[in-house]
């Protein structure tokens, strides 16, 4: 599972690079987990959590950036706050 831990670390690094852009608009992103099929689960926080454009931010922004940096990632999905 070392490869999975390495990929998880890389995903977190990409999210850290995206975070300042989200924070500038009053939002944020939290890493939740990486599934066995290389889907990244995240939680949109702050203004991103209830923004009507959050799906566009998720797919066209966050997911696109993660997959561009890490082509082995299949998707980025938002999960509900617990």
Looking at residue 16, what is its pLDDT? Answer: 97
Residue 14 domain boundaries: 2-78
Percent helix, strand, coil in the chain, to 5, is 50, 25, 25
- pTM across the whole model: 0.89
Question: 3-state DSSP call for residue 1?
Answer: coil
* Domains identified in the chain, total number: 1
Neighbours of 44 (CB within 10 A): 23
Q: What is the mean pLDDT of each run of 10 residues along the chain (82 residues)?
A: 83 96 93 96 90 88 96 94 58
**Which CATH number do you get for residue 12?**
3.30.300.130
Q: What is the Cα–Cα distance from 49 to 46, expressed in whole angstroms?
A: 6
How high is the pLDDT of residue 37?
Answer: 95
């Amino acid at each position: 599972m070392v490869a999975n831990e390495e990929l998880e670390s890389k995903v977190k690094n990409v999210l850290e690079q995206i975070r300042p852009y989200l924070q500038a608009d009053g939002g944020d992103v939290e890493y939740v987990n990486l599934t066995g099929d290389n889907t990244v689960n995240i939680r949109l926080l702050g203004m991103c959590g209830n923004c009507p454009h959050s799906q566009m931010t998720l797919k066209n922004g966050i997911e696109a950036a993660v997959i561009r940096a890490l082509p082995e990632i299949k998707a980025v999905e938002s999960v509900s706050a617990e």
